[in-house]
Structure 1
Amino acid sequence: MKMEDIAKMANVSKAAVSLALNGKPGIGQDTRERILRIAKDAGYAAKVKPPAPGKQAKTLLFLAFTNSGIVLEDYYQQPFFRELIQHTEERARSKGYSMLFSSVDMGSFEQEIELIAEENATSAVILLGTNLSREQISLIAGKMPNLVVLDTMYETLPLPFVEINNTMGAYQAASHLHGLGHRDIGYVASSVRIHNFEARKRGFSQALQELGTDLPEPSLFTVAPTVLTVQDSFKTQLSAYKQAKGSYPTALFCENDYIAISVIKTLAELGLGVPEDISVIGFDNIRESIVVTPELTTIHVEKELLARTAVDLLTDSVQENQFSGIKTLVDTSFKERLSCAPIAVRVEGEETSESRV
Structure 2
Amino acid sequence: MSLRHVAERAGVSIKTVSNVVNGFQHVAPATRERVQAALDELNYRPNLAARQLRSSRTGLIALAVPEIDSPYFAELARHVVRAAEARGWTVLVDQTDGLADRERLVMDGIRSHLIDGLIFSPLASGREELLTRRDSTAMVLLGERVFDGPVDHVAIDNVAAARTAVEHLLGLGRRRVAAIGEQRRESAGTARLRARGYAEALRANDIEPNRALVRFTDSYHRADGAVAMADLLDSGITPDAVFCFNDLMALGALRALAERGVRVPDDVAVVGFDDIEDGRFSTPSLTTIRPDKQAIASRAVDLLAGRLDGSDAEGPHEVEAPFELVVRESTVGGR
Does structure 2 retain, via aligned residues, the 8 Å contact 1:122–1:144? Answer: no
Aligned residues: 280
Larger mean Cα displacement after TM superposition, 84-93 or 208-217 = 208-217
In 2, Cα distance between equivalents of 1:233 and 1:177: 19
Q: Which residue of 1 aligns with 2:23?
A: none
Change in Cα spacing, 1:226 to 1:216, as seen in structure 2 (3 Å) is: closer
- Contact kept in structure 2, 1:172 and 1:334, CA below 8 Å: yes
Instruction: Return the TM-score normalized by structure 2.
Output: 0.75
Q: Matched residue of 2:222: which SS?
A: coil
1:258 maps to 2:252: no
2:329 equivalent to 1:338 = yes
1:137 to 121, 130, 133: 130
Instruction: Read off the aligned partner of 1:59 and give its amino acid letter.
Output: G
Which residue of structure 1 aligns with residue 146 of structure 2? 154
Q: Quote the residue 1:123 is aligned against.
A: 116
Structure 2 match to 1:208: 202
Q: By how many angstroms is 1:163 displaced?
A: 0.6
* Closer/same/farther in 2, CA of residues 116 and 232 from structure 1, 3 Å limit: same
Q: How much has 1:160 moved relative to structure 2? A: 0.8
Aligned amino acid, residue 252 of structure 1? V
Asked whether the 8 Å contact 2:60–2:115 carries over to 1, the reply is no
Instruction: Calculate percent identity across the aligned residue pairs.
Output: 26
State the one-letter code of the partner of 1:320. G
Structure 1 unaligned blocks of 5 or more = 1-48, 66-70, 343-357
Within 2, Cα distance between the matches of 1:111 and 1:314?
20
Task: Supply the distance in 2 between the matched residues of 1:103 and 1:307 (Cα, whole angstroms).
Answer: 17
Aligned residue identity for 2:126? S
| Post-superposition CA distance 1:160-186 (Å, at most 9, x none) | 100121111101011111111111111
Report the alpha carbon displacement of residue 239 of structure 1 after superposing the two structures with TM. 0.8
1:19-75 Cα shifts (integer Å, max 9, x gaps): xxxxxxxxxxxxxxxxxxxxxxxxxxxxxx99524144352422426xxxxx2xxx2
1:164 to 152, 156, 165: 156
Alignment partner of 1:239 out of 229, 234, 239: 234
The farther-off stretch of 301-310 and 194-203 is 194-203
Give the equivalent residue in structure 1 for 2:59: 59
* Distance (Å, rounded) in 2 between the aligned partners of 1:296 and 1:157: 34
| C-alpha distance after superposition, 1:311-332 (max 9, x if no partner) | 0111022111636310011121
Partner-residue secondary structure (3-state), 1:100 = strand
Work out which of the residue numbers 147, 168, 180 in structure 1 matches 2:172.
180
2:71 aligned with 1:95, yes or no?
no
What's the counterpart of residue 290 of structure 2?
Answer: 300
Retained in 2: the 8 A contact 1:222–1:234? no
Normalising by structure 1, we get a TM-score of 0.71
Residue 171 of structure 1 contacts residue 206 of structure 1 at CA under 8 Å; is this kept in 2?
A: yes
How many angstroms apart in 2 are the aligned matches of 1:285 and 1:81?
A: 12
Query: 1: CA distance between counterparts of 2:325 and 2:276?
Result: 13
Aligned partners of 2:107 and 2:140: how far apart in 1? 19
Aligned partners of 2:103 and 2:144: how far apart in 1? 20
Rg (Cα) greater in structure: 2
Secondary structure in structure 2 of the residue aligned to 1:298: strand
Partners of 1:98 and 1:212 in 2: CA distance: 51
> 1:172 is matched by which residue type in structure 2?
T
SS at match of 1:54: helix
> In the alignment, is the contact (CA less than 8 A) between 1:146 and 1:323 conserved in 2?
no
2-structure distance, mates of 1:110, 1:253: 30
CA contact (8 A) 1:281 1:297 kept: yes
Structure 2: give runs of 5+ residues left out of the alignment. 1-46
- Please tell me whether residue 221 in structure 1 is matched to residue 221 in structure 2: no
Residue 329 of structure 1 aligns with an amino acid whose one-letter code is: E
CA distance in 1, matches of 2:249, 2:132: 31
What's the counterpart of residue 272 of structure 1?
262
Q: Classify the secondary structure of the residue corresponding to 1:177.
A: helix
Structure 1 residue matching 2:330: 3-state secondary structure: coil
* 8 Å CA contact 1:92, 1:311 repeated in 2: yes
Q: Measure how far apart 1:271 and its partner are.
A: 1.5
State the shift of 1:94 in Å. 0.6
SS in 1 for 2:109: helix
Aligned partner letter, 1:293? T
Map of 1:280-319 to 2, 5 A cutoff? 280-319=270-309
Q: Is the 8 A contact 2:243 2:270 kept in 1?
A: yes
SS at match of 1:169: helix
